[in-house]
Structure 1
Amino acid sequence: MTTPNESGPVLDAASPLPPEIEAADEKTRVPLAIEDWATVVIMGLLACITFANVLVRYFTDSSFAWTEEFSVFLMILLALVAGSAAVARDRHIRIEYFAEGGSMARRKRLAQFGAAMVALLFLLVAALSVRVVWDDYRFEETSPGIGVPQWWYSIWLPIVSLAIALRAVGLFIRRGRRTMDANDGSAKP
């Protein structure tokens, strides 16, 4: 164990991460590794596709037509999956002045309110995007670049939006159970 310094928290020599980052991964019913591995796979696919396209362009003066369309889809999917991980880890955007100020009961209520609003928003996005997917399927829309059915891409919006909403509901429940330590204001599970 190291001694506290003026610039930050006490760090354990055995732990490479600061305590607040380690504490970010609270116990959840559905493992956070799902989003972590999905992020790794998507980033790997993006890197491989982009690298292959660069090589083909360099050596043949032409490119794979499908890479841009598929890369844009993967980047959108990556943002949604990362958003799910951020919600589950309670790392979504907020104004710290309001979220971390006031009494412990106020902080708890604000954390629950934020989680409820995220859940509501993404349930709405999931419900409305089902109609988009249905229209893409019903009208046989095709993608502009390579002509595959558009619903192959749009089906992921309601699925991942529902996952984000469920992660927000889980966060709401966890924040409702959490008690605050009156001595230092830190959260205790």
Structure 2
Amino acid sequence: MDKVISRLEEWIVAIVLAVMSIIAFVNILSRGLANYSLSFTEEITVNLFVLLTFVGTAIGVRQSAHLGFTLIYDRVNHSLKRVMTLFVGLMMVLLFGTLLYFGIQMVSFQIEMGQRTPSLGWPQWWFSLAMPVGALLCLYRTLQVTVKEYREHNVKGEQKI
């Protein structure tokens, strides 16, 4: 299951980045050659960027590629490292859980109100789904990484290899 989610994340990022690049390139050509701007492209690009950010964050959490300040963590004993790992994991779960909750609320509201995008007139919730879906992926990856890091140290404080 984890492999499927990993591939899905990577494909989403690749496809979204390709679509954004193509749209931006076509808009540049349109402005340069025809002196005509495709205004709707900004709407699509901005909304796809949100999806790209969330899914990219999930990949970053999965690969432990997020920025971190480890000076204190590196100098404490293994028991305190376990406590710090749980604390950081809990804070990340709280963040992504909050984003998931409010993302679901936002999408529900947009569906209920029938909100549409300004330029294309598409349902706004299509784009807004990026927030709860991305937050759910980040939440899953946070739990996965926290459990993995916590288990890396056994009860005696020796690091497992």
Residue in 2 that maps onto 1:26? none
CA RMSD, Structure 1 to Structure 2 (Å): 2.1
Which protein has the bigger helix share?
Answer: 2
What is the CA distance between 1:141 and its match in structure 2? 1.1
1:60 aligned to 2:34?
A: yes
Secondary structure at the counterpart of residue 114 of structure 2: coil
**Partner Cα separation in structure 1 for residue 15 and residue 90 of structure 2:** 30
Gaps of 5+ in 1: 1-28
Residue in 1 that maps onto 2:25? 51
**Partner Cα separation in structure 2 for residue 164 and residue 147 of structure 1:** 30
Gaps of 5+ in 2: none
Residue in 2 that maps onto 1:81? 55
TM-score, with length taken from structure 1: 0.75
**Partner Cα separation in structure 1 for residue 131 and residue 80 of structure 2:** 33
**Partner Cα separation in structure 2 for residue 150 and residue 56 of structure 1:** 26
Find the partner of 2:112 among 120, 138, 143.
138
Residue in 2 that maps onto 1:37? 11
**Partner Cα separation in structure 2 for residue 38 and residue 112 of structure 1:** 30
Residue in 2 that maps onto 1:90? 64
Runs of 4+ in 1 over 3 A off after TM superposition: none
Contact 1:126/1:158, CA 8 A, preserved across alignment: yes
TM-score, with length taken from structure 2: 0.86
What is the CA distance between 1:125 and its match in structure 2? 1.1
Taking CA–CA contacts closer than 8 Å with sequence separation of 6 or more, which of the two structures ends up with the larger relative contact order?
A: 2
Secondary structure at the counterpart of residue 46 of structure 2: helix
What is the CA distance between 1:74 and its match in structure 2? 1.3
Q: Which moved more, 1:133-142 or 1:90-99?
A: 90-99
| Mapping of residues 1-189 of structure 1, within 5 Å | 30-31=2-3, 32-179=6-153, 188=160
What is the CA distance between 1:169 and its match in structure 2? 0.8
Contact 2:115/2:123, CA 8 A, preserved across alignment: yes
**Partner Cα separation in structure 1 for residue 92 and residue 49 of structure 2:** 21
Give aligned-pair identity as a percent.
23
**Partner Cα separation in structure 1 for residue 73 and residue 120 of structure 2:** 46
Structure index of larger Rg: 1
Contact 1:69/1:145, CA 8 A, preserved across alignment: yes
Contact 1:112/1:175, CA 8 A, preserved across alignment: no
